[in-house]
């Protein structure tokens, strides 16, 4: 699961610094690292999970680790027995994110339990649940990554990475992949059978697309508190190109392109 939030407004930032006469502005997420940890811990406690968490330095009881990292920013990646948590800021694309990844199937339980504490918070943009392995290879561009995994990419379309020599090289062209992610200003162009979309999402992706989306997926949409639209496509998973047609259809409805 990935959950997207806005960044703080520029005139509200407290992270202005000057280095050698150059002013640096540190962008921060409206969903702070500490608040994100607090919400994740609350859900984990309710579900009776986590136990021991591994960090870059050591392993310790989850309650200790979460309390400590909640005061740092950002806290990066945390690994429990069941889940992997990640927090990050994509400053160039005007958003921050909280990511929850299962270490084995169904480890998270019901995904609604994890996202519900986030959707009514200020700055919530969107959230979705996707298949990690499928999305990894739908978005991998470096041929060396395929080589390390023992996967043949010789049949995949290629393009230049557009960098000057000696950095220029050929990479995998994912621009037509049905499961590709595209980072946009303030949101992520992604598709999944289970999605949560806020009014802020439509402001950024295009208000004119909302009506078409609601009409096309009327039987699969539920309106939640706070004008959140929840999409739940029953009996379908985006875990292979077998469902490519449905992925393209949803992408067209949400973003107006294929």
Tens digit of each residue's pLDDT (9 = 90 or more) over 189-237 = 999 999 999 999 999 999 999 999 999 999 999 999 999 999 999 999 9
> What pLDDT shows up at residue 81?
84
Give the SS3 label for residue 157. Answer: coil
pLDDT band at 157 (very low <50, low <70, confident <90, very high): very high
Q: Is residue 223 part of a domain?
A: no
**Cis preceding linkage at 202, omega within 30:** no
Asked if the structure places residue 29 within a domain, the reply is yes
- Residue 31 inside a domain? The answer is yes
Is 188 part of any domain? Answer: no
Query: Could you tell me the residue range of the domain that residue 37 belongs to?
Result: 1-122
* Whether residue 57 has pLDDT greater than 60: no
Cβ count near 206 (within 10 Å): 13
**Residue 174 reports pLDDT greater than 90:** yes
The number of distinct structural domains making up the chain is: 1
What pairs with residue 196 in β-bridges?
127, 230
Contact assessment for residue 57 and residue 93, using Cβ atoms and an 8 Å cutoff: no
In the structure, what pLDDT confidence band is assigned to residue 24 with cuts at 50, 70 and 90?
A: low
DSSP strand pairing (16-19 vs 182-184): unpaired
What confidence category does residue 44 fall into, taking pLDDT thresholds of 50, 70 and 90?
A: confident
HSE-CB for 64 with a 13 A CA cutoff: 9
| pTM reported for the whole predicted model | 0.88
By the 8 A CB rule, do 224 and 119 touch?
Answer: yes
Task: Tell whether 66 is covered by a domain.
Answer: yes
pLDDT of residue 190: 97
Going by pLDDT thresholds of 50, 70 and 90, the confidence category of residue 246 is: very high
Token representation of residue 115: 């996202």
Q: Residue 4: helix, strand or coil by DSSP?
A: strand
Q: What is the pLDDT of residue 78?
A: 84
Report the range of poorest mean pLDDT among 20-24, 144-148, 237-241.
20-24
Q: Which of 117, 132, 138 is nearest to 228 (CA)?
A: 117
Alpha helices in the chain (DSSP H): 33-47, 62-69, 111-119, 132-138, 143-148, 199-205, 208-216, 244-255
* C-alpha to C-alpha distance for 139 and 151, rounded to whole angstroms: 14
Determine, yes or no, domain membership for 172. Answer: no
Q: How many CB atoms lie within 10 A of CB 113?
A: 13
Query: Does residue 21 register a pLDDT over 80?
Result: no
Give domain status of residue 173, yes or no.
Answer: no
Phi, psi of 76 (to 5 degrees): 65, -120
**Residue 185 belongs to a domain:** no
């Amino acid at each position: 699961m990935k959950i997207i939030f806005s960044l703080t407004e520029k005139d509200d930032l407290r992270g202005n610094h000057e280095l050698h006469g150059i002013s640096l502005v540190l962008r921060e997420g409206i969903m702070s690292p500490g608040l994100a940890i607090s919400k994740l811990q609350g859900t984990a406690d309710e579900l009776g999970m986590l136990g021991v968490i591994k960090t870059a330095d050591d392993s310790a009881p989850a309650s200790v680790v979460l309390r400590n990292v909640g005061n740092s920013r950002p806290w990066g990646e945390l690994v429990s027995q069941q889940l992997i948590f990640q927090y990050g800021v994509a400053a160039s694309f005007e958003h921050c994110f909280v990511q929850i990844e299962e270490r084995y199937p169904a480890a998270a339980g019901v995904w609604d339990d994890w996202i519900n504490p986030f959707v009514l918070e200020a700055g919530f943009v969107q959230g979705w649940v996707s298949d990690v392995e499928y999305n990894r290879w739908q978005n991998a561009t470096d041929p060396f990554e395929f080589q390390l995994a023992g996967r043949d990419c010789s049949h995949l379309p290629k393009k230049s990475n557009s960098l000057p020599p000696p950095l220029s090289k050929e990479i995998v062209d994912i621009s037509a992949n049905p499961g590709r992610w595209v980072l946009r200003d303030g949101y992520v162009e992604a598709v999944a059978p289970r999605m949560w979309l806020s009014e802020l999402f439509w402001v950024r992706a295009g208000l004119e697309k909302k009506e078409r989306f609601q009409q096309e997926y009327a039987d699969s949409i539920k309106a939640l508190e706070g004008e959140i639209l929840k999409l739940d496509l029953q009996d379908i998973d985006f875990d292979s190109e077998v469902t490519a047609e449905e992925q393209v259809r949803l992408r067209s409805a949400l973003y107006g392109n294929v």
